[in-house]
Amino acid sequence: MAAITALTGEPEPTAGVAGPRGMQAGRRRRLNVFRYVVFTLFGLFFLLPLLAMARFSLQGVKLGTWSLTAWRQIGSYPGLLSAVELTLELAIITCVVVLVLLVPTMIWIKLRVQWISRAFEFLCLLPLTIPAIVLVVGLAPVYNRIRHYNLSALMLFWAYVILALPYAYRALSAGLNAIDVKTMSEAARSLGASWFTVMFRVVAPNMRQAILNALLLSSALVLGEFTIASLLLYVNMQVALYNISRATPNAGVLFSTSTAALLFAFVLLLILSYVGGRRRRRI
């Protein structure tokens, strides 16, 4: 009888445990469905215009036909290739300057002068709160003077460094906070490392992913920047595209160049993700 009681009594707690588990599984399923729906909707929201743009860039003379003419014409528009070249150079310079400025400074602040970290963060995030047009009002006199000395349009990088600061700062800050900088630096110091070695051979290599993210964000910002270049009368890729759209009835080139720029950004993203991923796999 006792055995029977024990056996019949057994399922109750099990059922009590299974209940929440069943509920959890159901909740998880619903959450997954919700995730997929949101992901699909947002994916379509971003993807459809891009697909339309790609499709228009491949539009033939007659409606509904396909052609690569617009892609072939990219090089034939005066000033477009040089604008693309300028933008790429600006992206590289901006990335280098941002990293050279931020990486050592942020590591140094983390290691030695933590008390100014808030002020530094505020400074770096400030450009987010200043509209581009206001920045231009401030930058215009400086750039007028630069123009006076016939310096190249590459001088735009100063403005772009300021614009890229908040994004690069956030990416680097996340990377820096993910590692135990203090213990690592103290371990390295006790082994005989100078501060320079600590920064560049111990801390920075462990921020690799964060540095790649900062690079990606900075270069994406420069590739898509229009307002400042246009208002300061420089012709970067976005300004050149705008000029083409105004000057030519053939919108195909506009679309092909924009698609090419976008593809370039995607390829860059893929390369950076691959480099970061390979590193992660190795570890």
Q: Is 200 in the site for other proteins (CB under 8 A)?
A: no
| Nearest-angstrom CA–CA distance, 135 and 119 | 20
Tally of helices (H runs) and strands (E runs) in the chain: 13, 0
Per-residue x/- track, 164-183, other proteins (CB under 8 A)? ---------------xx--x
Per-residue x/- track, 18-57, other proteins (CB under 8 A)? ----------------------------------------
Contacting residue, 206, 227, 250, 273, with other proteins by CB under 8 A: 206
Burial class (CB in 10 A: 0-12, 13-18, 19+), 252: buried
Structure tokens at 170: 């956030």
| Nearest-angstrom CA–CA distance, 278 and 258 | 30
Q: Is 202 in the site for other proteins (CB under 8 A)?
A: yes
Contacting residue, 186, 233, 270, 271, with other proteins by CB under 8 A: 186
- Taking CB under 8 A as the binding criterion, the range among 19-27, 52-60, 105-113, 204-212 that sits at the site for other proteins is 204-212
Place of tokens 């993807």: 47
Per-residue x/- track, 208-227, other proteins (CB under 8 A)? x-------------------
Structure tokens at 258: 């924009």
Place of tokens 């910002």: 221
| Cα angle for residues 98, 100, 102 (degrees, 5° grid) | 60
- Taking CB under 8 A as the binding criterion, the range among 40-48, 118-126, 184-192, 228-236 that sits at the site for other proteins is 184-192
Strand partners, 59: 66
Q: Is 147 in the site for other proteins (CB under 8 A)?
A: no
The residues binding other proteins (CB under 8 A) are 179-180, 183-184, 186-194, 197, 202, 205-206, 208, 282-283
